[in-house]
Amino acid sequence: MDTDVLIVGAGPTGLALAARLHRLGVGVRVIDKHAGVLELTKSAALHARTLEHLRDLGVVDAVLAEGRRVDVLCLRTGHRDRLAVDFRTLADTAYPFMVDIPQARTEHLLIDLLADQGVRVERGTECTGVEQDADGVRATVVTGGRTATVRARWLVGCDGAHSTVRGLLGIERVGAPYADDWVLCDAVVDWPLPRNEMTFSGDTEGIFGVFPLPGERRYRLAYTATPGVEPDLRDAQNAMARTGIEGTIRSVDQFWTFSLAHEQAVRYRSGRVFLAGDAGHVHTPFGGQGLNLGIGDAMNLAWRLAAAARGDAGALDSYQDERHPVAAQVIAFTHRGAQMMLLRGDPRRHVRDAALTVLRSSPRARRALARRFSQLDHGYRRASGTSGRVRGLAGGDRLPDLAFFDGRANRPRRLHALLPDDRHTVLLTDPAQAEGLAVPDSCAVRVLTPDWARAESTGGVPTALDRGREAARLYGAAYLVRPDRHLAYAGPAAGLSAALAPLARLGEVR
Ligand SMILES: Cc1cc2nc3c(=O)[nH]c(=O)nc-3n(C[C@H](O)[C@H](O)[C@H](O)COP(=O)(O)OP(=O)(O)OC[C@H]3O[C@@H](n4cnc5c(N)ncnc54)[C@H](O)[C@@H]3O)c2cc1C
């Protein structure tokens, strides 16, 4: 074999997958048909769950330093603010906000990370054929007119909405294109609203979205195209005027017109070949979800491929079970959101406005929406390979990143920071839960306890003392946490042995 995993496509999904696989000790090659990063205006918004993933990849500090923090997503219709979704209400994450940063910058940061790890993206290299048998995959790749074969144990198509890999596998998509084209541009704008606010306005002509970007008075503007009108500064200014907010566009870098669809591949896997990111799902930019979803796919698939490389091929089976329904939910949510904002002069707009007003008066509904956009609640409760349920947490849920004061280290900490991100971890809340428990070498053990006396008697297991019982919702149970910070198991300690059984089979990467 030339490599363990061949990744086709060096967009955000492929780059995140490559970095994660490398961290997990899996051999990886990444090819991309383009000569460099496309500096095209595309995604801007990174949500809380993605920032957690970027933390585990090791680039979140750079993203935070460079990006613009956005606290509020405001929905406006008919010239009025209808609903403000405040991400500062997100309680169990270190990142209770969104970060706006051009997609190309996110890609460059991941490429730099890979370069530091010694992984180089093979540019100008296009995948044109895929064959597989029981042992591996043979990909035909073309570089500068020369054709070669790359043999890998697995191949992942991260090659975007028009995925060649998906086409070669003959995997159908379901969904439909939208009638409206969209225009996107990065601009310098005198915009009177706060810089920590992203705005989507619906009016009788279409949608106008304003995303604050890093840089003085810089914004990304996204709006529904007027049929027959070539986008230019005047067109953008006219569209902005429809929001009812007095903004002035000073200059624009470039315009990009694009069409959209809500579509999903019916399968994410064919034998040893997988789809991730836009290759598997596309939808509207409502709420800035797509790139975030792709990075979520990558983090979910990476540890499975690492487990398969160590002898547990069964770990690959639930990738589709977990990620397909999550993307289906996002597609449905963004479809409803965009349709709602695109009612134009339809009389149902009055019902929409009334509904938004009701939502506005409910802090609970606004918090729920913030969680929805943030992707923090994407979970896998019904998927195989996850089990148990205790005190509101179940196998498949994301482990909440609770903040607590560690009485042993004598400093504030977060739960995720207590756990390694390159292996499964048994998280005990009482050292006595370890009695008689056989933990495979591939797995870490951590103790989080509120009990002063017990915190001193954990026999060398890394232990944190939760002095203020701030993680009280976890106590009385034990957990098996996956490398992607989702729970493989939540429940009585007696249930851990069964949950650990698949990990006992793991060897070295073979
Ligand atoms: C206008 C717009 C605004 C958006 N705004 C947001 C936002 O705010 N937040 C958000 O989360 N998402 C947003 N998105 C979505 C986001 O841009 C995509 O979800 C994201 O780019 C998907 O990443 P990917 O890596 O899966 O695919 P892509 O970014 O499409 O990357 C695919 C890569 O595969 C390569 N490739 C293709 N075919 C081959 C082949 N045969 N061989 C080798 N290489 C190949 C391509 O060159 C490309 O580099 C937006 C999208 C659009 C269009």
Mutation test residue for ligand 1: of 110, 291, 301, the one with most atoms within 8 Å of CB:
291
Q: What is the pLDDT of residues 174-231, one digit of tens each?
A: 999 999 999 999 999 999 999 999 999 999 889 999 999 999 999 999 999 999 999 9
Fold of 3-175+262-374: FAD/NAD(P)-binding domain (3.50.50)
Considering only the C-alpha atoms of the chain, give the largest distance between any 2 of them, rounded to a whole number of Å: 74
Q: Is 164 in the pocket of ligand 1 (CB under 6 A)?
A: yes
Cα(287)–Cα(452) distance, integer angstroms: 44
Q: What is the ipTM of this complex?
A: 0.96
Q: Which CATH code of 3.40.50.170, 3.30.460.20, 3.40.30.10, 3.90.1150.10 fits the domain covering 389-504?
A: 3.40.30.10
Cα(419)–Cα(427) distance, integer angstroms: 8
Angle, vertex CA 23, rays to CA 22 and CA 28, nearest 5: 10
Centroid of ligand 1 to alpha carbon of 11 (angstroms): 6
Cα(173)–Cα(161) distance, integer angstroms: 11
- 3-state secondary structure string across 136-190: CEEEEEEECCEEEEEEEEEEEECCCCCCHHHHHHCCCEEEEEEEEEEEEEEEEEE
Cα(57)–Cα(17) distance, integer angstroms: 10
Which parts of the chain sit beneath pLDDT 50? Answer: none
Centroid of ligand 1 to alpha carbon of 492 (angstroms): 42
pLDDT for 208: 95
Which ligand 1 atom is the nearest neighbour of the CA of 45?
8
Q: What is the pLDDT of residues 239-256, one digit of tens each?
A: 999 999 999 999 999 899
Angle, vertex CA 454, rays to CA 452 and CA 459, nearest 5: 130
pLDDT for 502: 87
Cα(169)–Cα(312) distance, integer angstroms: 24
**DSSP state for residue 336 in the 8-state scheme:** H
Centroid of ligand 1 to alpha carbon of 97 (angstroms): 23
Boundaries of every domain in the chain: 3-175+262-374, 389-504
Cα(295)–Cα(50) distance, integer angstroms: 7
Amino acid at 22: H
Q: What is the pLDDT of residues 19-78, one digit of tens each?
A: 999 999 999 999 999 999 988 778 889 999 999 999 999 999 999 999 999 999 999 999
Burial status of residue 261 (CB atoms within 10 A of its CB: 0-12, 13-18, 19 or more): middle
Q: Is 44 in the pocket of ligand 1 (CB under 6 A)?
A: yes
- What is the overall mean pLDDT for the chain? 95
pLDDT for 334: 95
pLDDT for 462: 92
Centroid of ligand 1 to alpha carbon of 106 (angstroms): 12
Cβ distance 205 to 242 under 8 Å?
A: yes
Cα(11)–Cα(365) distance, integer angstroms: 34
Centroid of ligand 1 to alpha carbon of 158 (angstroms): 9
User: Which tokens sit at 26?
Assistant: 């899996």
User: What is the residue with the minimal CA distance to atom 6 of ligand 1?
Assistant: 43
pLDDT for 238: 95
Give the number of other CB atoms < 10 A from CB of residue 494: 11
Cα(245)–Cα(80) distance, integer angstroms: 9
Q: Is 295 in the pocket of ligand 1 (CB under 6 A)?
A: no
Residue 477: closest CA among 464, 459, 455, 495: 495
> In whole angstroms, how far apart are CA 407 and each of 427, 450, 457, 470, 474?
18, 9, 14, 12, 17
Centroid of ligand 1 to alpha carbon of 43 (angstroms): 8
Centroid of ligand 1 to alpha carbon of 191 (angstroms): 28
Distance separating the N- and C-terminal Cα atoms of the chain: 11
- 3-state secondary structure string across 355-378: HHHHHHCCHHHHHHHHHHHHCCCC
**DSSP state for residue 64 in the 8-state scheme:** H
Classified as helix, coil or strand, 500 is helix
- Residue at token pair 């944190």: 464
Give the number of other CB atoms < 10 A from CB of residue 450: 21
Cβ distance 20 to 57 under 8 Å?
A: yes
Q: What is the pLDDT of residues 388-401, one digit of tens each?
A: 999 899 999 999 99
Mutation test residue for ligand 1: of 29, 99, 159, 258, the one with most atoms within 8 Å of CB:
159
Cα(484)–Cα(316) distance, integer angstroms: 14
Which ligand 1 atom is the nearest neighbour of the CA of 276?
26
Cα(114)–Cα(112) distance, integer angstroms: 5
